[in-house]
Structure 1
Amino acid sequence: MGHVIQIDEETLLGEIQRRLLNEFPSVSPRVVDILIRAEHARFEGSPIRDFIPLFVEKRARRDLRARPN
């Protein structure tokens, strides 16, 4: 069952990446991916996974907004 959850989470992370790339077109896909992966890693080992993609997206968006243009 945990494997299914991981696949769903990975799918959601991909959707988050697409949204952030659309919102921040001047940022490279690699940078967005690194931010998303770093934020996602913060929640490694968290037993409740339901809201992790939401938290990842909010934190990554915050970090991207704080970047100098």
Structure 2
Amino acid sequence: MREPNEERAIADVVARLTIRYPSLDPAQIAAAVGHVHAHFESCTVRDYVPLLVERHVHRDLESLRAIPV
């Protein structure tokens, strides 16, 4: 079950990633965070979920940045 603190932490993750990747659409970043966050839904220990979500999405966004356009 998600707690209000976790929801706030996930919103902070979206904000940090939006600042870090200004060339990307903030809605895409929020969707990516939501998608990864959903994968942790069944975790019983929730303390590190926001951190893990941020690391996963950051890694994914970095790999997108590495692809030449």
TM-score w.r.t. the length of structure 1 is 0.88
| Residue 14 (structure 2) aligns with | 17
State the one-letter code of the partner of 1:49: R
Aligned length: 66
Shift of the alpha carbon at 1:6?
1.6
The 5 Å alignment of 1:1-69 reads 6-67=3-64, 68=67
Identity across the alignment (%): 30
TM-score w.r.t. the length of structure 2 is 0.88
- For residues 25 and 42 of structure 1, the distance between their equivalents in structure 2, rounded to whole angstroms, comes to 25
Unpaired segments ≥5 residues, structure 1: none
**After TM superposition, which residue ranges in structure 1, 4 or more long, deviate above 2 angstroms?**
none
SS in 2 for 1:25: coil
